[in-house]
Chain A
Amino acid sequence: MSKKAYPYVLIMPSVLFLLAFFVYPFLQVFAQAFTHSEGGLTIAHFETIFYDFNFLPSLKNTLLLALVVVPAQLCLAIGMALMISKMEKGRDTVLYVWTIPLGISDLAAGIIWLGLLDQNGFINSFLFHVGIIDEAQSWLNYQNPWAIFAAIVFAEIWRATAILLVILVSGIGLIPKEYYEAAEIFGANAWVRLWKVTLPLLRPSLQTALILRTLLAFEVFAVVMILGGSNMPVLMGEAYNWAFSYRDAGAAAAYAVVILVLSLLFTLFYLRVLRVPKEAQI
């Protein structure tokens, strides 16, 4: 074997695997969404889901959740990353604790927050112990769509801020210290340094973090299943219902295409808005 062939032999298994389980199913989603069961192009599956009474609410809920959760997480994660970068003692311990939710699934996070917000939950118990309420109140029902929404927002912020934090902490680590020293010499205070040095130089990390997090927000599923049930349809949950409960692979694929297109649009949006010119890279 010639030496030139080594790397290709080494990457071949991964390439074949990704072709079989990433590229092929990716094309297959579109094939399923746009073809009849007997063959032939059709948009019938899209008509099926567009005329379904859950489609618009699920689209609205998914977008609204992403719109509320992602910016809140971004601000929180930037704050946390800045605090980590200022810490000397206990930095590793604090980082460890703050990133614990990274390993927690959205299902487990949903269960945790259900334990807090349920009718028999801890928040009700606390309010009772303090004397604000006299009996268990039910928050998470169809009469309080906003309570359900808020519960999901809290659970999502609790669970998924850690991934932004990790990306931003590593990004801040890449910014040369000299830039801050220079800014300080020119009289920039901490606030000005944040806006004129840290955030602009953090743009590549912000881009990665936002793309990753927004796409994950479009995939929100188990948390909503637990906290909202059928009172809060989301795109991923509908895809699951069509695939699993109604046994309609075509409609499920159509939902998948909707999610994919949304993901693509937002990725392009972030790539454009947070573009880093080649000559401005550190």
Chain B
Amino acid sequence: MKMDTNNQRESEPTPDVVANYTSTKKVWRWLFISSAAFLIAWVLFPIYLLVVSALSSADVVNGWPKSFIPEFDLETMTFFMNYYGVLAALKNSLVAAAFTMIISIGLGTPAGYALARFDFWGKEAFRMIILLTRAFPMPLLALPLAVIFIQVGLDDTLFGLSLVHASLALPFAVLITASLFLGIPVELEEAAWVLGCNRWQAFYKVVMPLALPGLTASAVFAFVISWNEVFAAAVLTINNQTLTAFLVQSLSASPAEVKFAGGLILILPALLFLYVVRKYLFSMWGISNR
């Protein structure tokens, strides 16, 4: 390796070498673009095929061989919506996700603000606990909580489930809001204090409007965490199943239409979610990984 570089540097660049260099550069460029394109297709094509399945008639969904072009037939989707238990499960998923959103943002925002604006004893310990929860198989905690919930009467309730989902989403809410508030200059708040606002008014009138897009993003993230979660939902809900719990528990029994239409409904928020949060994608996994 070393020899090579030395040789290259010592020899005069002949036209031949230059031509060679540009052509290798071209090859690299071509390789680069085609592998990027391949990876884009690798992500998108399976999703496209799910859409094809979900938008086909029942005959096509259960038939063979499959066409790779969607029919735009709503039979499968209507079959899914009319399938026993689906609408209730869909509603339950939405309710649990909404609860999760409210709890994690309601509790996480003040904590994020504290991390961003104050230096206090125990700050690092608090941050450590928050980071620790991420390195932890949280859905497992649904197992003991299932027993505890029976004792306190929260078993098989969406509120109980959303408490578990909120414990998944809260650490992210704290990290996202902390980085959000760090990005808003403290001078703006100080100006508001000087003009006669108290701390709460300054937060409400000055910081809040600036932080709103980011808060929305972290709320959407909490929503998606709850919407996607399978294990805790399957363990904790019996009659009030969420969509994920419903699909997992009726997998072997349910027809192909239900699976594919259900799959499409499940991924729709994901596409929307990434569009809303793309600006905050990095702060949410805590770039502060040191």
User: Which residues does A use to contact B, with CB under 8 Å?
Assistant: 4, 6-11, 13-15, 17-18, 21-22, 25-26, 28-29, 31-32, 80, 83, 86-87, 92, 94-108, 111-116, 119-122, 124-126, 128-129, 136, 158, 163, 166-167, 169-171, 173-174, 187, 189, 192, 204-205, 207-208, 211-212, 215, 218-219, 221-222, 225-226, 229, 236, 239-240, 243-244, 249, 252-253, 256, 259-260, 263, 267, 276, 281
Q: Contact: A14 with B108, CB < 8 Å?
A: yes
Given contacts A29-B140, A263-B136, contact A11 B278 (CB under 8 A): no
**Contact A25–B145 (Cβ < 8 Å):** yes
> Across the interface, do B140 and A239 meet the contact criterion of CB distance under 8 Å?
yes
Q: Are A103 and B147 in contact (CB under 8 A)?
A: no
Closest to A31 in B: B144
Question: Within 8 Å CB of B83, what residues of A?
Answer: none
- A sample of 17 inter-chain contacts (CB < 8 A) reads A21-B167, A29-B143, A100-B270, A103-B224, A115-B263, A124-B64, A125-B64, A125-B66, A125-B68, A169-B282, A170-B282, A236-B231, A240-B234, A244-B235, A252-B143, A256-B143, A267-B135
Residue numbers in B under 8 Å from A113 (CB-CB): 46
Give A174 to B252 CA distance when docked, in angstroms.
47
A97 to B148, CA, bound (A): 41
Of B49, B50, B147, B248, the contact of A32 (CB 8 Å cutoff): B147
Q: Are B281 and A99 in contact (CB under 8 A)?
A: yes
Complex Cα distance, B230 from A100, in Å, reads: 19
B126 in the interface (beta carbon within 8 A): yes
Interface positions of B from 120 to 174, Cβ below 8 Å from A: 120, 122-123, 126, 129, 133-141, 143-148, 163-164, 166-167, 170, 174
| CB atoms of B36 and A83 under 8 A apart | yes
B253 adjacent to chain A (CB < 8 Å): no
Is B146 a contact of A22 with CB atoms below 8 Å? no
Q: How far is the CA of A78 from the CA of B163 in the complex (A)?
A: 35
A215-B135, A276-B290 known; A10+B49 contact, CB < 8 A: no
With the chains together, A236 CA to B66 CA distance in Å? Answer: 34
Mark each residue of chain B from 247 to 290: 1 if its CB lies under 8 Å from any CB of chain A, else 0: 11001100010011011001101110111001001100101011
Does B44 lie at the interface of the complex (its beta carbon under 8 Å from any beta carbon of A)?
yes
Residue among A4, A25, A215, A240 with most chain B CB within 10 A: A25
Give B78 Cβ to nearest chain A Cβ, in Å. 19
Residue of B nearest to A128 (CB): B65
On whether the beta carbons of B143 and A243 are closer than 8 Å, the reply is: yes
CB pair B143 A18 closer than 8 Å: no
Q: Which residues of B does A touch, CB under 8 Å? A: 1, 5, 9, 32, 35-36, 39-40, 42-44, 46-47, 49-50, 53, 62-68, 103, 106-108, 110-111, 113-115, 117-118, 120, 122-123, 126, 129, 133-141, 143-148, 163-164, 166-167, 170, 174, 199, 224, 227-231, 234-235, 244, 247-248, 251-252, 256, 259-260, 262-263, 266-267, 269-271, 273-275, 278, 281-282, 285, 287, 289-290
Q: Tell me whether A17 and B107 are in contact (CB under 8 A).
A: yes
State the CA gap A158–B49 with chains docked (Å): 14
- Tell me, rounded to whole Å, the shortest Cβ–Cβ distance linking A250 to chain B: 10
- Give A34 Cβ to nearest chain B Cβ, in Å: 12
Given known pairs A105-B230, A115-B49, the reply for A98 and B43 (CB within 8 Å) is yes
Specify which chain A residues have a CB less than 8 angstroms from the CB of B129 in the assembled complex.
Answer: 18
- Given A102-B274, A136-B64, A97:B147 Cβ within 8 A: no
Q: How far is the CA of A100 from the CA of B281 in the complex (A)?
A: 11
A116 to B252, CA, bound (A): 17
Interface centre among A10, A256, A260 (most CB of B within 10 A): A10
